[in-house]
């Protein structure tokens, strides 16, 4: 699946960014919390943040602050992506 927002990430020249954190939600860790349910990674910049099932919903907050449109699951064994603009799995 794809949408117009995934085009930059689907091309042969795309290289996934390095994750900003491998130990959990970067934003939760910054305030000394460990309360995330699942992790997501921004495909534009590599920001690792918690999902909407987590109390702080940092992945959505990152999208709203940065306008970065697509993230992917950062959970082991998962490869799906989400477009925040189109509100669907891509």
**15-26 pLDDT per residue, tens:** 999 999 999 999
Domain span at 85:
19-89
* 6 band by pLDDT with thresholds 50, 70 and 90: very high
What pLDDT, in 10s, does the model give residues 45-85? 999 999 999 999 999 999 999 999 999 999 999 999 999 99
Specify if 52 maps to a domain. Answer: yes
Specify if 14 maps to a domain. Answer: no
Tally the domains of the chain. 1
Specify if 39 maps to a domain. Answer: yes
Answer whether residue 41 shows pLDDT above 90: yes
Specify if 79 maps to a domain. Answer: yes
Q: Which helix (H) or strand (E) holds 10?
A: helix 7-10
CB atoms within 10 A of CB 6: 18
**pTM as predicted:** 0.95
Which tokens belong to 69? 């449109």
- Residue 75 is part of a domain; what is its CATH number? 3.30.40.10
Specify if 31 maps to a domain. Answer: yes
Specify if 29 maps to a domain. Answer: yes
């Amino acid at each position: 699946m794809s949408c117009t927002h995934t085009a930059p990430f689907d091309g042969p020249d795309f290289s996934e960014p390095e994750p900003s954190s491998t130990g959990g939600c970067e934003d939760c860790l910054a305030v000394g919390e460990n309360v995330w349910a699942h992790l997501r990674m921004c495909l534009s910049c590599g920001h690792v943040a918690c999902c909407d099932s987590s109390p702080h919903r940092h992945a959505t907050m990152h999208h709203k602050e940065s306008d970065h449109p697509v993230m992917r699951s950062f959970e082991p064994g998962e490869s799906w992506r989400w477009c925040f603009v189109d509100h669907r799995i891509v």
